[in-house]
Amino acid sequence: MSNLPNCPKCASEYTYNDGSLYICPECAHEWQADTDSENPGDVKIIKDANGNELQDGDTVTVIKDLKVKGTSLVVKVGTKVKGIRLVDGDHDIDCKIDGIGPMKLKSEFVKKV
C-alpha cells in the first residue's frame, strides 16, 4: 500500500499526492507535504499592518480612524488597546476599548506596540 499520511481534518486514509500538496478526496482539505509536522492543525498566524505576529494579550495601537458601525463614535488614530484576544473570522481581534466598550477589529488596522 502507500505510506501517505491520513488527513489531519477528517482522518481519512484515502489521501493522495499532487505535486507538493496532499489532498483528501473526502473533505477536500489540502496541505503542504513538507510542512505537516511543523504546523499541525492549520494554525492561522495573524499579523498586524507592519507584518509583526500578534498573540493573545498583546497591546496594539490603531493606525486609522475607524467608525463604529451603528453609532456616531469613532476610534481615533493612536488609540491604545491592551489585552487583545485573537479569534477566527474576518475581524481577527476581540478587545475592549476604553470609552467605547467591546469591539472586534481587523488586524490590518492595528500595529503592535
Q: pLDDT at residue 40 above 90?
A: no
Per-residue pLDDT at 89: 85
Cβ neighbours of residue 54 closer than 8 Å, sequence gap 6 or more: 46, 47, 48, 60, 84, 86, 92, 93, 107, 110, 112
- CB neighbours of residue 92 within 10 Å: 21
CA atoms in the 13 A half-sphere facing the CB of 28: 0
Q: Which residue has the cell 498573540?
A: 55
Record the pTM: 0.62
| CA 83 – CA 94 distance, rounded (Å) | 9
pLDDT in the model for residue 36: 42
Highest mean pLDDT among 9-13, 34-38, 51-55: 51-55
Q: Is the pLDDT higher at 38 or at 112?
A: 112
Based on the number of CB atoms within 10 Å of its own CB, is 81 exposed (0-12), middle (13-18) or buried (19 or more)?
Answer: buried
Q: Residue 76 has which C-alpha cell?
A: 481615533
Would you place residue 1 in the very low, low, confident or very high pLDDT band (cuts 50, 70, 90)?
very low
The answer to whether residue 62 scores a pLDDT higher than 90 is yes
Which amino acid type is present at position 108? E
Look at residue 21 in the predicted model and tell me its pLDDT: 87
